Amino acid sequence: MKPEWKDFLLQAGAEMDEQRVSDFGNPEREMSVAITGDVICDLSHHGLIGAYGEETVQFLQGQLSNNVPDVDEHTSRMGAYCSPKGRMLANFRLFKRGETYYLRLPREQVQSTLKRLSMFILRAKVTLEDADDALVRIGVSGPHAVEQLQAALGKAPPEAVDQVTQERGLTVVRVPGLHPRFEIYGELDAVTRLWQNLSVRSAPVGANRWGLLDVMSGVPHVYPQTVEAFLPQMTNLQLLGGVSFNKGCFPGQEVVARTQHLGKLKRRMYRLHLPVNDAPPPGATLHDASVDATQPVGRIVEAYPHPDGGVEALAVLQVASAEAGEPRLESTSGPAAQVQPLPYSFDLAAAT
């Protein structure tokens, strides 16, 4: 996080937990307004990997699950970086700004992902770097987000998910959300001006409130606790445009493609409500004696408290348990999970 940006957030009332904004002084209200009202959020808890050079597209195309040539200054894509066994080492949102491609992913995953990707550059004319300080990043969400951004930028923001606009030094990416939701990237001065403009009508919220919006939107993240735990399809990434089944090879491509074409995915990601006060960490297990009394039937992807009580979570779960069983947190006698609807259908076309 740029020191000048951190100072700005502190002056705006942010409570910081190292490099992460926990709240702006009223966490209970922030939790409620995040899912009903207009909010702005610092996204410094997400890191950036920058990639540039004349062979960047070819290099990334051979490493990532999405179709990299689709990404330009007007289009973004989600995607995954997989092991040879098809298990996700990281997932990300890929966007382009100027001549640089950026992978946005949890800060905790930046160094390990950067190190592994760098091993395969060999003689390719591409440079990879930790771009944490390159761009300030914020999130904007709410029923009036479109109108407020249009007033602030003098141009309508993107209309559809994955679309991008470039305006006044800012890269604006439309992402899935309960309400219109955007990730915005830019230089310090441009983002500071936008924040000041939007904060007149939008409430600033902490990082976990943005995480709750991700969970309720069905958007997964891979954290250190879940590295190599899931195939991309287990987290519904193909339904979010993050897997191309028509591109060439990438690490794990054979396993990913075979799973898709067989059409027999036994585990996939569901949204759950858990009657607990504290959010379980990524990787926490789910059990179901009616399906398998000896082994976990699922794992938590990400979870956050909900303003109406309990915790909202994304979890990769055996289909049998989600549809007819009784998944419970941490043991067969733990709190019972309730499966909630996702904002997209499992019947969506999966191939891109």
Q: For the segment 259-290, what is each residue's pLDDT rounded down to a tens digit? A: 877 767 899 999 999 999 999 999 999 999 99
Instruction: State the pLDDT at residue 347.
Output: 66
Instruction: State the pLDDT at residue 46.
Output: 97
Q: Which residues are annotated as a binding site for substrate?
A: 183
**DSSP code, position 267:** E
Question: Is the backbone of residue 246 left (phi > 0), alpha (psi -120 to 50) or beta?
Answer: alpha
Instruction: State the pLDDT at residue 259.
Output: 81
**DSSP code, position 154:** S
Taking residues 312-329, report their average pLDDT: 95
Neighbours of 346 (CB within 10 A): 13
Q: Could you give the CA distance from residue 214 to residue 71 in angstroms, rounded to a whole number?
A: 22
pTM, two decimal places: 0.94
At residue 351 the predicted structure's pLDDT band, cuts being 50, 70 and 90, is very low
The per-residue pLDDT for range 199-217, each reduced to its tens digit, is: 999 999 999 999 999 999 9
> Reduced to 3 DSSP states, what percent helix, strand and coil does the chain have, rounded to the nearest 5?
30, 30, 40
Which of 204-241 are b and which e, b meaning 16 or more Cβ less than 10 Å from the residue's Cβ? Answer: bbbbbbbbbbbbbbbbbbbbeebbebbbbbbbbbbbbb
Helical pair 188-198 and 3-11, crossing angle rounded to 10 deg: 10
Cα 348 → chain centroid = 20
Residue with tokens 């001549």: 99
Residues whose CB falls within 8 Å of the CB of residue 48, separated by 6 or more in sequence, listed in order: 102, 103, 104, 110, 130, 131, 132, 134, 135, 137
Mean pLDDT, rounded, of the chain: 94
The per-residue pLDDT for range 11-69, each reduced to its tens digit, is: 999 999 888 999 999 999 999 999 999 999 999 999 999 999 999 999 999 999 999 99
Q: Which of 160, 165, 44 is nearest to 95 (CA)?
A: 165
Asked whether 182 and 174 are in contact (CB, 8 A), the reply is yes
Helical pair 27-36 and 207-216, crossing angle rounded to 10 deg: 30
Instruction: State the pLDDT at residue 349.
Output: 43
Instruction: State the pLDDT at residue 44.
Output: 96
Instruction: State the pLDDT at residue 174.
Output: 98
- Domains delineated in the chain: 1-221 (3.30.1360.120), 224-340 (2.40.30.160)
Q: Which residues are annotated as a binding site?
A: 183
Q: In what helix (H) or strand (E) does residue 70 lie, and over which residues does it extend? A: none
% of the chain at pLDDT higher than 90: 88
% of the chain at pLDDT higher than 70: 98
Quickly count helices (H) and strands (E) in the chain: 9, 19
Quote the longest CA-to-CA distance of the chain. 59
Instruction: State the pLDDT at residue 247.
Output: 85
